[in-house]
Amino acid sequence: MAVGDDRDSGDAGALIARVALGDRKAFAALYHMTNRKLFGVCLRMIQDRADAEEALQEVYVKIWKNAATYRPGLAAPTTWLVTIARNHALDVLRRRRQASEDLGEAEDFADPKPGPEAEAIRADDGRRIEECMNELEPDRAAAVRSAYVEGLSYLELAGRHGVPLNTMRTWLRRSLLKLRECMDQ
């Protein structure tokens, strides 16, 4: 049975409730049931197996500590777990980017400036993206910017825009398809 089946979701919800009470056996069962899916989320986002394995450990520490905050009426158990993994992977990527920026500031690296042609291409690409973003409805464009520039989660975006989580997913998916079509023209 795949993680995400209705029966697994119910089992995962019951396990999360038991984990909230400090049940280590339930935690082990929850790990066994969900670790491949959550590892896949981490690996897909972080793109480094060792870092994804470390992130997965940290995700399960968060699950252990925050199980009591899970509210079954707000999200399916697997959605809650995947959101924790996704948000943690985003934090890892942000820390990695910050460390890279700090290293760049600390060291005096030779940073060749792009030539006029590269600058013109980059400016044209930026202009095309902005034109395509302007073709989206304003709330959809704001959601896309918040998701892909600010790194907000679907859940955070849904709350910010006052729409259900699945509606936000649909907005982003459809908006990205429209942007891709526009950029390909």
Q: Measure the CA angle with vertex 69, ends 68 and 75; round to 5°.
A: 120
* pLDDT tens for each residue of 161-172: 999 999 999 998
What's the pLDDT at 103?
A: 64
CATH topology of domain 6-103: Rna Polymerase Sigma Factor; Chain: A (1.10.1740)
List where CATH 1.10.1740.10 sits in the chain: 6-103
Rounded CA gap, 124 and 66, in Å?
46
Q: Which CATH architecture has domain 115-180?
A: Orthogonal Bundle (1.10)
List where CATH 1.10.10.10 sits in the chain: 115-180
Torsion 177-150-142-167 (CA) sign: positive
Start-end of H helices in the chain: 6-20, 24-46, 49-66, 77-106, 116-134, 138-148, 154-161, 165-184
The total of other beta-carbon atoms located within 10 Å of residue 58's CB is: 16
Q: How many residues does the chain have?
A: 185
Mean pLDDT calculated for residue range 128-151: 84
pTM > 0.75: no
